[in-house]
Amino acid sequence: MAEVLLFHHALGLTEGVRAFAGVLRRAGHTVHVPDLYEGRVFEDLEAGSAHAQEIGFGTLVERGERAAEGLPEGLVYAGFSLGVLPAQKLAQTRPGARGALLFSACVPVDAFGGAWPEGVPAQVHGMDADPYFAGEGDLEAARELVAGAADRRLFLYPGTAHLFAEPGAPSHVPEAAALCAERALCLLGGVRP
The 10s digit of each residue's pLDDT in 119-133 is 999 999 999 999 999
- How much of the chain, in percent, has pLDDT values that exceed 70? 99
Query: What domains does the chain contain, in order, with CATH numbers?
Result: 3-189 (3.40.50.1820)
pLDDT digit string (tens) for 1-57?
A: 999 999 999 999 999 999 999 999 999 999 999 999 999 999 888 999 999 999 999
For residues 58-79, give the mean pLDDT: 96
What is residue 116's predicted lDDT score, i.e. its pLDDT? 95
Global pTM value: 0.96
Contact 62, 84 (CB under 8 A): no
> Is the distance from CB of 172 to CB of 161 less than 8 angstroms?
yes
